[in-house]
Structure 1
Amino acid sequence: MSQQNLPWWGVFLRSYLSEDKKWIIIKIRDNGVGITTENVKKIFDNLFTTKPIGKGTGLGLSISHQIITEKHSGKLWCESTPGEGTEFIIELPSLTI
């Protein structure tokens, strides 16, 4: 099923502070076609792409993962259900003042 065949398609963004106030959580979700389990396992691998040759570099998500985890001591992962949509979750340490 393609995006165009869905009755309504959208991207949803939610951000909040964890209950223990230690993490800023950002969730980006869509109700698109989803990603296969096989591709979710590889989605943050360097040079991984499902796009045709010349259309994608396979660097965007691997670089994003590296920046969030290595530079900000955060977490980034993906959850997806084919036919229902995909969600990317980012957790960043909150600053204690």
Structure 2
Amino acid sequence: AAESTRLNHELMPPGDYVVIELKDTGHGIAPENLGKIFEPFFTTKEVGKGTGLGLSVSYFIIHENHGGSLSVDSEPGRGSRFVIRLPLKRDDSDA
């Protein structure tokens, strides 16, 4: 049986958040790749088929620009679920 793996980069402080959940029913992310997917230039695609920047840039924008979080659950053969949490209010000192 396939085992679900979760990657959560940080704990969010208490507060009100907008939560966006994106799911698919694709191949899932291999457990050995899960810890690398937010690294710049990481890709499992063939050379010339991708830059490996999509998730890295997404993580940066969500975390650094908006003070949110991006986490993923994935089960090989069953798909992945990405969860974006964005604070409804942001402390101006973080801007």
TM-score, normalising length: structure 1: 0.74
Output the aligned Cα RMSD: 1.6
Correspondences of 1:1-97 after superposition (within 5 Å) = 22-95=16-89
Deviation per CA, 1:25-82, whole angstroms, max 9, x where unpaired? 0000011111111111100001100000001101111000000000000000111000
Unpaired runs of at least 5, structure 2: 1-13, 91-95
**Percent of residue pairs bearing the same amino acid type:** 49
Figure out how many residues of one structure are paired with residues of the other and give that number: 77
Give the 4+ runs in structure 1 shifted more than 6 A: none
Report SS of the residue matched to 1:92.
strand
Partner residue of 1:15?
A: none
Report SS of the residue matched to 2:19.
strand
Report SS of the residue matched to 1:38.
helix
If asked which structure has higher relative contact order (CA below 8 Å, sep 6+), I would say 2
